Structure 1
Amino acid sequence: MENIRKSVFKIVTASGTGTGFTVSGHNQVITNYHVVKGEKVVAVEDYKKDRFVANVVMVNPEVDLAFLKIEGFENKETDISLQEEIIVANTQKVFINGYPFGMPYTITEGIVSSSSQPMGNRNYIQTDAAVNPGNSGGPMLNEAGVLIGVTTSKFNNADNVGFGIKHLDLIKEIEDFSSVENPVYSVKCNSCDSYTETESEFCNNCGNNMDISIWEEFEKSHFAQFVENALTELGINPVLGRAGRDYWEFHQGSALIRIFVFKRDYLVATSPLNNLPKKNIQELMTYLLEKNVEPYYLGIHENKIYISYRAHLSDIFTDHVDTVKENLKNLALKADDLDNFFADNYGCEMAIEAKEDM
């Protein structure tokens, strides 16, 4: 089951996080529609914390499934198989794989409470395994690593009750989409199984009503536009840095950078650099107290060294806007230098959030 993690991905959007995965024989990343709703381009993070830009190429809101395409990606490592003939039985073991609450990859074990639980117009797999926000779109597997469903927390309003889209529903979506040669963002019509690529209130094939809001993308705030312009100038694709509404998280070299709004009034950028050393801590404390790194601040929280920057949100509407942008960009570069400095000169271990330099 451990190798499964190579086939399971964190899906990161401007609205939050979810889970996606690949299955043998197919290159698209599979997830829930509600995970990517309002987005046409998202970030996909693998088990090594590497992020890739993915285009949303198919959505089926009724089934709550979506397919993502990563340019140049070939699915060579997956251990998740998809078998039409697999039998799902009540009380059999089930394993929920994913990134609950955006945290690191986890596997949760449970049993199938119902192999065909009717809800709305469809039947779902019901399980007693813990399903939390962030697990949505991940694989539900049996003990052999065979897919039995796609986790969805869409209806998960009670403890110890989780639901999954049946594997047969996914197989149908994959088979129908296999005929699409040059996939772009398209919406599945469940009346005739065709795809509509252009914004429309009706299916181009059968005339069935379609929800035009499915084509709408979330509008970025002025603050988000400011931050993402700074990231672009830093050479970072903003899509890869998004971690929620008006929240960004990315690695500059080895250092993890977080940018967010604090108490509705402040732009804050911060980076956890290193753990405090076991020895010679006095020399380090002297450095932290005496070293001037303005406009940034060095501090300690829970035995970890941080560098931070704060500016009032009103500053991005004034003549100070360019200064704030430069300070924001330079904090990322400074953090990448300092974590190595503290490691080399004071024996400080890198923070757990750090990414190993390649």
Structure 2
Amino acid sequence: MQELIYHSIYKVSQARGSGSCFYLKDYNLFVTNSHVVEGFRQVALEDHHRNRYPARVILAHPALDVAFLKAESDFSFLPDLPLAKEEAAIGSKIRVAGYPFGMPFTLTEGTVSSPHQYMDGYYQLQTDAAVNPGNSGGPMLNEKGEVIAITTSKFTNADNMGFGIPIHTLFPLLEKSRNLNLEYLSIQCSCCDEIITEEEDYCPCCGNKIPFYLFHERPLTDIAVYCEKAIEDMGVNPLLTRIGQENWTFHSGKSEIRMFIYQQSFLFCTSPINTLPKKNFGPLLHYLLTVPDLAPYQIGLNGNQIFLSYRIHLSDVLSDTDRIIQKNITQMAARADELADYLAETYGCGFPPCTRIDQPVNNSSFSIKTE
């Protein structure tokens, strides 16, 4: 049963990067760090199978570094992730769960170095378990599988020093969440704990200065807006594709599409469409070397993977060919799927792990030529 609770721990992504979060069934909310979602009203949640779901930030307590997310999908099927009723004891075993560096789900173990380390105005739990960027917002679990703290940070210039927000400090905020208007973002004042539901310069209760950025979303860059229009034209919600600053990964059909800005000079769109066959790949290599014009796309090899790619200099995006380029980006997903199936059927190529085999091939106007 304890293994099932890990299914309640998700990755949370936005246009600056990613972190971790976990689902609390009793409150129908996901919990993460405030700094993970700062500057964004909407984020994407990703489960262990890389399925993504939209969610809204409904409450943030920046000083405590806690935020609550409300997902649009039904997550009642998830197992209950229990909250610890007792505080952690020094020397007790602890597990840190999450998605470090945006990688797939990981679990690291350690011990509680200090259950009451005073930092930044709050008591935090200190552990020697491995804590890395991307773990932020995920749970720290005791030996019973109960959430004992929320991972929040580590010292970058020290080893084996990670910190978490003790879960008992979260209980009053969770109870207040039951009465929130879930359609809007609320901020909890760090001075008096007043819930502020409208944009204010100062807390209406105690007069504490409210940082101006808390109610404002970070704007996308012009190139990000341009790319996301192409993604939207594929029938994909751009919100669910963001994995960092000017960086997107998604599926429109079966092939994974990766888009990113390289060295502030090029926009790359690339898709790992196939893997080399185990044997008799002479005919395939001949085809790849003599493949007819796939312009504006290129086909190439990296290790045992075959890629379809499209590279654009950013100066071209700002020229009068921008609409043509945007259309080429949109059509690349269909081309990747069609070519992937052709290579699999004709030359016995496999598919990389990121391929969604159960997805049908997009209908497209492209044709694969062999002469």
Is the TM value for this pair above 0.5?
yes
- Corresponding position of 2:330: 329
1:153 alignment partner, SS class? strand
Alpha-carbon distance change, 187 to 213 in structure 1, aligned in 2, over 3 angstroms: same
- Partner Cα distance (1:86, 1:237) in 2: 42
Return 5+ residue gaps in structure 2 as ranges: 360-371
- Corresponding position of 1:354: 355
- Corresponding position of 1:138: 138
Alpha-carbon shift at residue 64 of structure 1 (Å): 0.2
What are the residue-to-residue correspondences of 1:306-345 with 2, within 5 Å?
A: 306-345=307-346
Alpha-carbon shift at residue 181 of structure 1 (Å): 4.4
Alpha-carbon distance change, 356 to 11 in structure 1, aligned in 2, over 3 angstroms: farther
- Amino acid in the other structure paired with 2:213: S
Whether 2:68 is the aligned partner of 1:63: answer: no
- Corresponding position of 1:179: 179
TM-score (structure 1 length as normaliser) = 0.95
Deviation by residue 1:128-179 (Cα, 9 ceiling, x = unmatched): 1110000000010012210000011265542211100101112222112222
What are the residue-to-residue correspondences of 1:270-281 with 2, within 5 Å?
A: 270-281=270-281
- Amino acid in the other structure paired with 1:43: A
Q: How many residue pairs end up in the alignment?
A: 357
Once the two structures are overlaid, the 10-residue window that deviates more, 178-187 or 310-319, is 178-187
Does the 8 Å contact 2:138/2:151 carry over to 1?
Answer: yes
1:63 alignment partner, SS class? coil
- Corresponding position of 2:160: 160
Deviation by residue 1:41-70 (Cα, 9 ceiling, x = unmatched): 111111121111111111110100011111
- Partner Cα distance (2:79, 2:202) in 1: 37
1:219 alignment partner, SS class? coil
Does the 8 Å contact 1:24/1:82 carry over to 2?
Answer: no
- Corresponding position of 1:50: 51
Once the two structures are overlaid, the 10-residue window that deviates more, 119-128 or 188-197, is 188-197
Alpha-carbon shift at residue 244 of structure 1 (Å): 0.6
- Amino acid in the other structure paired with 2:225: Q
Does the 8 Å contact 2:274/2:306 carry over to 1?
Answer: yes
- Partner Cα distance (2:321, 2:52) in 1: 32
Does the 8 Å contact 1:25/1:75 carry over to 2?
Answer: no
What are the residue-to-residue correspondences of 1:1-358 with 2, within 5 Å?
A: 1-83=2-84, 85-153=85-153, 155-292=155-292, 293-357=294-358
Once the two structures are overlaid, the 10-residue window that deviates more, 141-150 or 69-78, is 69-78
1:283 alignment partner, SS class? helix
Return 5+ residue gaps in structure 1 as ranges: none
- Partner Cα distance (2:207, 2:79) in 1: 39
Alpha-carbon shift at residue 349 of structure 1 (Å): 2.2
- Partner Cα distance (1:110, 1:154) in 2: 14
Once the two structures are overlaid, the 10-residue window that deviates more, 175-184 or 103-112, is 175-184
Deviation by residue 1:317-344 (Cα, 9 ceiling, x = unmatched): 1111011101111112212223333333
Deviation by residue 1:247-281 (Cα, 9 ceiling, x = unmatched): 11111222111111122211110011222110121
2:175 alignment partner, SS class? helix
Does the 8 Å contact 2:131/2:154 carry over to 1?
Answer: no
Alpha-carbon distance change, 356 to 140 in structure 1, aligned in 2, over 3 angstroms: farther
TM-score (structure 2 length as normaliser) = 0.92
Alpha-carbon shift at residue 357 of structure 1 (Å): 2.3
Alpha-carbon shift at residue 207 of structure 1 (Å): 3.2
- Partner Cα distance (2:166, 2:60) in 1: 17
- Amino acid in the other structure paired with 1:104: P
- Partner Cα distance (1:70, 1:79) in 2: 16
- Partner Cα distance (2:222, 2:302) in 1: 31
CA RMSD of aligned residues (A): 1.6
- Partner Cα distance (2:136, 2:156) in 1: 10
- Corresponding position of 2:367: none
